[in-house]
Amino acid sequence: MLNINSYNENNYELQVWVGLAMVIGWCLLFIYKNLRQIAIENEEDVKNTTASDFTVIIENLPAHYTKESFQRDLDVYREWVKDKMVYPDPDYYPDDTYDGGFTIAKFNSANAHY
């Protein structure tokens, strides 16, 4: 004959393990979905060129800086890091003709609004 207390104890242990397995399963599912979403976003970011890929905001420059002086400083920096730069794989990005140089297209000088 089965003791009612041992029956309840066995059911309780089974429920605990099933609950723990479900929590672990859900955690693994959410981690997988999150990592997959990050991978999809990175793939789409590589495929699509947007203005944010080329826009930089630099604050607190000296007041005497002009577009030409800043371009000169960027060119000096480019020469300094030229050998250290890692370029994209040409087999993966066959249309990429980027040489690593920086060119200022628009230079605004303004006060911050905060």
Is residue 74 located within the same domain as residue 99?
A: yes
Are 36 and 7 found together in one domain? yes
pLDDT digits (tens, 9 = 90+) for 87-104: 666 676 666 666 666 777
Q: How far is the C-alpha of 27 from the C-alpha of 41, rounded, in Å?
A: 21
pLDDT above 80: residue 17: yes
Q: Are 42 and 97 in the same domain?
A: no
Same domain for 21 and 65: no
Mean pLDDT confidence for 20-29: 97
Same-domain status, 1 and 44 = yes
Higher pLDDT, 46 or 3: 46
Q: Are residues 57 and 4 in the same domain?
A: no
* pLDDT for the residue 33: 97
Dihedral sign computed on CA atoms, order 92, 94, 95, 98:
positive
- Do 27 and 64 belong together in one domain? no
Q: Cα–Cα–Cα angle for 84, 88, 89, nearest 5°?
A: 120
Counted domains in the chain:
2
Instruction: Print the domain residue range for 44.
Output: 1-48
Three-state SS at 28: helix
58 and 42 assigned to the same domain: no
> Do 44 and 57 lie in a common domain?
no
Mean pLDDT over each residue of the chain, to the nearest integer:
79
- pLDDT-derived band at 18, boundaries 50, 70, 90: very high
37 and 81 share a domain? Answer: no
pLDDT at position 1: 47
Q: Do residue 57 and residue 113 come from a single domain?
A: yes
Q: Are residues 61 and 41 in the same domain?
A: no
36-54 pLDDT, tens digit each = 999 998 888 878 877 777 7
pLDDT at 88: 65
